[in-house]
């Protein structure tokens, strides 16, 4: 199955390291950071699971629930989590989906045959509270994710929703935003009474902190 931005993500039921879940019910009113791993007890995955746990407060303040997936069993996950906690000096408290039959990995197109027929590539799915897919990233099996970028894009998506703006290259929280071209100047006066800088008629920069 090929998922596109804006699609409603497929629901599924699965056993996890924290018990049985149904994705849509488990998500509740939160955003979801759903990310896959090739296998338990592998070095890059161990650092990524650990980094997610270390950033638990950052995810929580953004109303984001992390959800991992690996193509191993619940028992293996639980043993691996002990290793993650020990080696990464953290406490993993989010669920990791057990997907030993590859059912969910195939549903979300995480199996790339040129990489592996039995292990998931490092896929990222950012899902909003309406169960819509808002962003995807795919890393090869041997390259770890950039968690600063994951937090940045979550901030960006939430800023876009909150302020009806677009965001420029390399945007960081607190940086200037772009007034979308389909917003007229008259509409913009109501949305952005603080004013804006018009670089071109199609490129209007606004400071959201004002």
Q: Are residues 56 and 101 in the same domain?
A: yes
Residue 7 belongs to a domain: no
Residue 156 belongs to a domain: no
- pLDDT for residue 150 is more than 70: yes
Q: Are residues 96 and 17 in the same domain?
A: yes
**Mean pLDDT in residue range 172-177:** 96
Q: Are residues 122 and 176 in the same domain?
A: no
Q: State the Cα–Cα distance between residues 150 and 138, nearest whole angstrom.
A: 12
Q: Are residues 121 and 22 in the same domain?
A: yes
> Which two three-digit tokens encode residue 171?
């945007």
Residue 158 belongs to a domain: no
User: How would residue 120 be classed by pLDDT, with cut points 50, 70 and 90?
Assistant: low
Residue 5 belongs to a domain: no
Residue 108 belongs to a domain: yes
Count Cβ neighbours within 10 Å for each residue of 76-93 and write b for 16 or more, e otherwise.
Answer: bbeebbeebbeebebebe
Q: Are residues 79 and 53 in the same domain?
A: yes
Q: How far is CA 3 from its chain centroid? A: 14
Q: Are residues 74 and 137 in the same domain?
A: yes
The pLDDT score that the predictor gives to residue 65 is 98
Select which of 45, 74, 120, 126 is catalytic.
45
pTM beyond 0.85, yes or no: yes
Which residue range(s) make up the domain with 30?
Answer: 13-146
Q: 18, 26 in Cβ contact below 8 A?
A: no
Residue 190 belongs to a domain: yes
Among the listed residues 208, 174, 45, the one whose alpha carbon sits nearest the alpha carbon of residue 122 = 45
Question: By mean pLDDT, which of 105-109, 124-128, 173-177 is the weakest?
Answer: 105-109
Mean of all residue pLDDT scores within the chain: 93
Q: State the Cα–Cα distance between residues 88 and 43, nearest whole angstrom.
A: 11
**Mean pLDDT in residue range 27-55:** 95
- pLDDT for residue 184 is more than 70: yes
Residue 50 belongs to a domain: yes
Q: Are residues 140 and 178 in the same domain?
A: no
Give the C-alpha distances (Å, rounded to integers) separating 167 from 58, 155, 188.
Answer: 21, 11, 16
- pLDDT for residue 81 is more than 90: yes
* Dihedrals phi, psi of 124, to nearest 5 degrees: -125, 135
The pLDDT score that the predictor gives to residue 115 is 67
Q: Are residues 106 and 190 in the same domain?
A: no
CATH of the domain at 174: 3.30.1020.10
User: How would residue 38 be classed by pLDDT, with cut points 50, 70 and 90?
Assistant: confident
Respond yes or no: is residue 198 known to be catalytic: no
The pLDDT score that the predictor gives to residue 112 is 75
Number of domains into which the chain is organized: 2
Strands annotated E in the chain: 13-16, 19-22, 31-37, 64-70, 96-98, 122-127, 133-139, 177-179, 197-200, 203-206
CATH of the domain at 91: 3.40.30.10
Q: State the Cα–Cα distance between residues 124 and 135, nearest whole angstrom.
A: 8
């Amino acid at each position: 199955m090929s998922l596109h931005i804006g699609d409603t993500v497929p629901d599924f039921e699965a056993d996890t390291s924290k018990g049985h879940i149904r994705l849509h019910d488990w998500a509740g009113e939160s955003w979801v950071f759903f990310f896959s791993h090739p296998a338990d007890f592998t070095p890059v995955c161990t650092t990524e699971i650990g980094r997610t746990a270390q950033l638990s407060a950052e995810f929580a303040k953004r109303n984001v629930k992390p959800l991992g997936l690996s193509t191993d069993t619940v028992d293996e996950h639980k043993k691996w989590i002990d290793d993650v906690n020990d080696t990464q000096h953290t406490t993993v408290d989010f669920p990791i989906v057990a997907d030993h039959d590859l059912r969910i990995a195939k549903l979300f197109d995480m199996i790339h045959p040129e990489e592996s027929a039995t292990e998931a590539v490092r896929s990222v799915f950012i899902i909003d509270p309406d169960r819509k897919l808002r962003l995807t990233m795919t890393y090869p099996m041997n390259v770890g994710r950039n968690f600063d970028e994951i937090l940045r894009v979550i901030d960006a998506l939430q800023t876009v929703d909150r302020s009806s703006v677009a965001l420029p290259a390399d945007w960081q929280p607190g940086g200037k935003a772009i007034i979308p071209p389909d917003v007229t100047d008259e509409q913009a006066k109501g949305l952005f009474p603080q004013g804006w800088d018009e670089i071109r008629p199609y490129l209007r920069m606004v400071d959201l902190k004002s």
